[in-house]
Amino acid sequence: MLTKRIIPCLDVTLDSAGGTVVKGVEFVDLKRAGDPVELAKRYNEEGADELVFLDITASHERRDTMVDVIERTSDEVFIPLTVGGGISTVGAIRGILRAGADKVTINTAAVKNPELIRESSSIFGSQCIVTAIDCRRNHRIEPGRNIITLEDGSQAWYEVVVYGGRKPTGIDALWWAGEVERLGSGEIMLTSMDRDGTCDGFDLPITRAISEAVNIPIIASGGAGNIEHIYDAFVRGSADAALAASIFHFKVYTVEDVKRYLQERGVPVRFLQ
């Protein structure tokens, strides 16, 4: 059985210091959480399986991703590093990989130009391309939508949103996940914007629905507030990896705490040798 991955996420914004890790609710009301390089070093030492570095305002501000911070981070960690934010061309992907990233995540650009997934996965390999899907629940039931029953018995479909969750697209997230796989993406990073930063737990209905609908790994993102939430993402949501930020940045738990908990409950995880 494949081990489940624990992935701390560094949400980074550009500031006078060159880059600061922040955390907010639904990508707004951001609070400083620390220096990205120092946090990356800490998570590397704690036994994280991978790291995700997201320049969360690059798309909104229509600027390039912070290559210098990526270079400094990649020099300090020895686990796979995925980078996203403001990446919209094959040339930009090439630059991020050359800066030291192992994978690149594309989101807004992939929605605007789906062929970017096909082209980039063909050039760099599917294993390098992670497509991020940000979505929100939409309770306006319409024909042709993939309707999902929620925990309270109500129903909704999930709408893809772009530009850091600021702009709805009208695209059904479950349909889009299938397209992403067909176009050649190696993984999907799925964020429920309804849960992001809330610490109320992952959005299990959409996580499970997409995990069961595609054959590429799903990284659950948005809402981890305690260890049980991560366990639920794997057992009830069928995710292959869980992304978390607040619980690690503010030292609620260490990566090792999470892995010990999961191991004791029969979830396969990898520890540092």
Helices (H), the chain: 36-46, 58-61, 67-74, 90-98, 108-112, 115-124, 173-183, 204-213, 227-235, 246-249, 255-264
Residue pair 250/12 in contact (Cβ under 8 Å)? The answer is no
pTM of the shown model: 0.92
pLDDT of residue 24: 47
CA atoms within 13 A on the CB side of 256: 8
Map out the domains of the chain as residue ranges: 5-264
Q: Is 11 a catalytic residue?
A: yes
Sign of CA dihedral 173, 217, 222, 205: positive
CA atoms within 13 A on the CB side of 228: 3
pLDDT of residue 99: 94
The Cα–Cα gap between 151 and 188 comes to 23
Catalytic residue among 35, 49, 55, 134: 134
Q: Report DSSP state, residue 237.
A: S
Q: Encode burial over 250-265: b for 16+ CB neighbours within 10 A, e otherwise.
A: eeebbbbebbebbeee
For 113-153, the pLDDT digits (tens) are 999 999 999 999 999 999 999 999 999 999 999 999 999 99
CB-based burial label for 173 (10 Å; 0-12, 13-18, 19+): buried
Please give the CATH number for the structural domain made up of 5-264: 3.20.20.70
Query: What end-to-end distance do the CA atoms of the chain give, in Å?
Result: 19
Q: Is 134 a catalytic residue?
A: yes
Catalytic residue among 11, 35, 172, 194: 11
For 234-271, the pLDDT digits (tens) are 999 999 999 998 899 888 999 999 999 999 999 999 99
The Cα–Cα gap between 86 and 105 comes to 10
Low-confidence ranges of the chain (pLDDT < 70): 1, 14-33, 57-65, 273
